[in-house]
Amino acid sequence: MKAHEREGIIAAGAFGVLMFAWLGFLIHRSPDFAGSGMGAVFGIAGAVLMLAPLAYPTVKRIPFLNARITPHISLQAWMTLHVYAGILGPLLGMIHTGHKYDSWLGITLTAVMLLVVASGFVGRYLLSYVNQDIKDKLLLLQTARGDLDSAWGALTNAPPELRTLPKSPLLAAGLASLGLDLPSSGPAGEVTRLAECVADLEYAIRTHELVKRWCRVWLTTHLVLSVILYVLLALHIWAGIHFGLRWLS
């Protein structure tokens, strides 16, 4: 299994746990946990891990750091840190809440935290899948067009009686989708079948391009939500320090 595939499986599992973890308030609430010693440990660890994803865009977009760091630690390694810390940090933050959602700041921070993880997960893995699928379909389209040109050449050189289209093109197309051909299809039927394949591939590529554009919107949304998350996180930390931790009193 490739490293990227392994990363995707681990990230998908942790993402699934996180997306359902917030529903724990339906069966469990611990009002005092967030302010306790153990709750503070989870909160601090989660906050540190939520800051760790900043390393990837910093190294990637600042030329000075990129030139000096990437020869030793690749951008892919920073991206892996970005993904794992970006999921594990919110997961620890979720544990820190003790499923107590009473203040507007805590509720907003939790909601934005989940949206950041969701938007990042969609942008990271769905966009990668769409890009790879587009590349695969473009290769298939190039092959199908070449086959169509060859079939068209065979059709123009065929006897006149073999140049007519099948009498039941819908039936021929249905059988072709099952891997079957009408015995009388001939060169004309082959041209029809390949033309339909080319049309299907072109439609699939256009659809994937549309999804790709939406994924880019998701990435922009991820960046905006990340800024909001760090603002809310700073306010949450300030509130914790300002009002004091109960376990120190």
Q: Which of 96-110, 159-173, 182-196, 218-232 has the lowest mean pLDDT?
A: 159-173
Q: For residue 148, give both structure tokens.
A: 């169509």
* Residue 162 confidence class, pLDDT cut points 50, 70, 90: low
Q: Which residue has the tokens 């951008």?
A: 75
Q: Average model confidence (pLDDT) for the chain?
A: 78
Q: For a pLDDT cut of 90, what percent of the chain falls above it? A: 11
Distance CA 204, CA 200 (A): 6
Give pTM, 2 decimals: 0.66
Q: For residue 177, give both structure tokens.
A: 């989708």
Q: How far is CA 23 from CA 29, 167, 236, in A?
A: 11, 59, 21
Q: Does residue 170 or residue 221 have the better pLDDT?
A: 221
Q: For a pLDDT cut of 70, what percent of the chain falls above it? A: 80
Q: Which of 61-65, 129-133, 155-159 has the lowest mean pLDDT?
A: 155-159
Question: Is the pLDDT assigned to residue 229 strictly greater than 90?
Answer: yes
Distance CA 37, CA 18 (A): 23
Question: Within 13 Å and on the Cβ side, how many CA atoms surround 18?
Answer: 28
Give the chain's end-to-end CA distance (angstroms, integer).
Answer: 51
What pLDDT does residue 164 have?
59
* Residue 20 confidence class, pLDDT cut points 50, 70, 90: confident
Question: Is the pLDDT assigned to residue 7 strictly greater than 70?
Answer: no
What pLDDT does residue 184 have?
46
What pLDDT does residue 165 have?
55
Mean per-residue pLDDT, 37-65: 89
* Residue 26 confidence class, pLDDT cut points 50, 70, 90: low
Per DSSP, the residues of the chain read --HHHHHHHHHHHHHHHHHHHGGGGGT---TTTTTSHHHHHHHHHHHHHHHGGGHHHHHHH-HHHHHHHTTTS-HHHHHHHHHHHHHHHHHHHHHHHTT---SHHHHHHHHHHHHHHHHHHIIIIIHHHHHHHHHHHHHHHHHHHHHHHHHHHHHHTS-GGGSSPPS-HHHHHHHHHTT---TT-HHHHHHHHHHHHHHHHHHHHHHHHHHHHHHHHHHHHHHHHHHHHHHHHHHHHHHHHHH--GGG-
Annotated domain spans of the chain: 3-125+224-248, 136-205
Mean per-residue pLDDT, 65-83: 88
What pLDDT does residue 48 have?
92
Question: Is the pLDDT assigned to residue 134 strictly greater than 60?
Answer: yes
